[in-house]
A and B are shown apart, each in its own frame.
Chain A
């Protein structure tokens, strides 16, 4: 077979050389975004109307139409809002399956810990009703819960999450963030000690050591019977020659190491209210 270079090759090469200088057709994503036609079906998302409300009514038409049955849905009616989870059935089922619950942020009921989960929820339900199950009023809900129980038990956190649809992690995170919300039952008495340099100069260190030895807990801890909690107070700047020590918020004047031992011994054995 013979091969003679001829005009065809030259014309072809002239074409490519011309195209070398022509503007290029590349769309430089993400700086330039190609126009997506309005009918494009490539991105699956639920639509909102102009007032911001979700248009989905969970009418199941899309689930019926899907040939490979990859859509499932469920709704939680918490005061006129539906939560629609659509997607593969095994991921987004509202069937209280563990995986589904975990993925949707809800607590998973575990029979091993059922004994610890009990809390009387009648007053809590009333509180939730009063606050209209509104996720935006989580902080008042939590403060009300603390008033009911004295602290926020885990069972109450779970109940709030289930009733309002707020993710368990969010409720727990809010409760653990604020200082005034307690997740544990408080101790009967609170001993507060200041640790600023001027208090330490006036013997604060000895007082603190005496308290720690006598009560048997480090600073920040609670005695096992729940009678005394040893905590750090903020500096008040008015120690006037003695270290700053408070008992349940009342300042104790002229505290010394010996006085600390006596005070601790007097407080020991007082069981706090509410502990079994």
Chain B
């Protein structure tokens, strides 16, 4: 009863505010600030949106990994915690949050605490330049790819910090192994994309995607198959995925650099790893498979929906403000009419109704401007094919040894990347003198 009274009061205040023009004034002012072309505002909004985006991504990839590996093992993965086990990631997240968070004796506390943060931030920052659709990206640097690889190197620092500060020989071994691995594989990774840069003429990721627009024959994988192969193997090593997951080889050095981590700190590391997986899949898609372009030319005209850099505002609004307010608006009459229902049930139903309405409205709107939606769909579909491939490889392959790993990087991938670079340059000289 008191809740009902408060809600009625709020509703009356809202009506009063709207009626006298006070609330619309505030909303317009906030909107004005957010839409203003002030760099700091755009940055904050985009950063928040990107951070919020990483959480569902990691959840989806964790769930995918559990289920896909289970299916390949001829068993069903989690299927009880939600419909078809979809809440399993949430349960994992809660489990990680509820564990005891300790610091081992003798550990360097500052470094120990900062290591997961550094690793995580390194992965998340790279999302800012990844284009999800036509016009849907955080920032469009003209050296976007350089920024991407630069920021990706932060992950190495984080792992080293973790390995050293844990005061544990296993962690030290794991940290050093991982540092060696990631540093060695960054070189073939970056060299293999130089061919793409030469073909596209720009380091901006948006530019690279637009250079592949057309049909799937324009995708760079057709023109740079060797580069793609080198890139894919190097990406697997960068993401610390099997067969290159020595850093977390749990049959040898328990958990490598993360042996002494528990609770949310450990969660951060593995969060960062899954985000990294998606990131590298996204990058592979953008660089070699056309990003958000469709395999065949689309009959509808493609034009940019939002002004460049508006990703942040749209996502923020879509994700936070509107659903909450909308579901409350829909839930209120339901709750008042069916008073035997608990409030949360009405809220959920309100959310469902609102979401249906919102999706319907958005769908109708986007049918007129279909390209953005289609772009997002293609991008995610292609990226998740790669994520599936990463998980598939984890299910099938055993691990390589550290010396075999280093041999592969320096003796095979690096020369292959250099050969590819040489051949691409030669081809460009011959075809476009």
Contact = CB atoms under 8 A, between A and B. Distances in A.
* Chains A and B touch (C-beta atoms under 8 A apart): yes
B74 interface: yes
Nearest to A15: B396
Interface string B66-110: 001001111110010000000000000000000000000000000
A122 interface: no
A81 interface: no
Given A19-B72, A20-B68, A20-B71, A3 B404 contact: yes
Given A20-B72, A26-B75, A26-B76, A1 B395 contact: no
A3 B393 contact: no
B407 interface: yes
A17 B392 CA distance: 8
B396 A25 contact: no
B227 to A, nearest CB: 16
Between B72, B392, B397, B401, the greatest number of chain A beta carbons within 10 A of the residue's beta carbon is seen for B72
A12 B396 contact: yes
B403 interface: yes
8 contacts: A4-B412, A9-B397, A12-B397, A13-B392, A19-B73, A20-B68, A20-B71, A25-B74
Interface of B: 68, 71-76, 79, 233, 392-393, 395-397, 400-401, 403-404, 407-408, 411-412
Nearest to A10: B396
Contacts of B396: 9, 12-13, 15-16
A16 B76 contact: no
Listed residue (A2, A3, A9, A26) with the most chain B CB atoms within 10 angstroms of its CB: A3
Interface residues of A, number: 18
A97 B73 CA distance: 54
Contacts of A1: 401, 403-404, 407
Contacts of A25: 74-75
A28 interface: yes
Contacts of B71: 19-20, 24
Given A2-B412, A3-B412, A12-B396, A22 B407 contact: no
Nearest to B405: A3
Contact of A24 (B75, B407, B408): B75
Interface of A is mostly: loop
Interface of A: 1-5, 9, 12-13, 15-17, 19-20, 22, 24-26, 28
Contacts of A9: 396-397
A47 B403 CA distance: 63
A3 B408 contact: yes
Contacts of A2: 407-408, 411-412
Contacts of B233: 5
Given A2-B412, A3-B407, A16-B396, A28 B76 contact: yes
B74 A19 contact: yes
A235 to B, nearest CB: 35
Nearest to A25: B74
Contacts of A26: 75-76
Contact of A3 (B68, B73, B400): B400
B392 A24 contact: no
A20 B69 CA distance: 8
Contacts of B401: 1
Closest 10 CB pairs of A and B: A16-B72, A16-B396, A26-B76, A3-B408, A26-B75, A1-B404, A20-B71, A13-B396, A20-B72, A12-B396
A208 to B, nearest CB: 39
Nearest to A23: B74
Nearest to A22: B74
Given A12-B397, A13-B392, A17-B392, A24 B411 contact: no
A16 B72 CA distance: 5
A1 B405 CA distance: 9
B388 to A, nearest CB: 10
A17 B72 contact: yes
A17 B71 CA distance: 9
Contacts of A22: 74
Nearest to A4: B412
Contacts of B75: 24-26
Contacts of B404: 1, 3
A26 B78 CA distance: 11
Given A20-B72, A24-B74, 16 more contacts: A2-B411, A3-B404, A3-B407, A3-B412, A4-B412, A13-B393, A13-B397, A16-B72, A19-B73, A19-B74, A20-B68, A24-B71, A24-B75, A24-B76, A25-B74, A28-B76
Contacts of A5: 233
Contacts of B411: 2
Contacts of A3: 400, 404, 407-408, 412
A25 B393 CA distance: 22
A13 B395 CA distance: 9
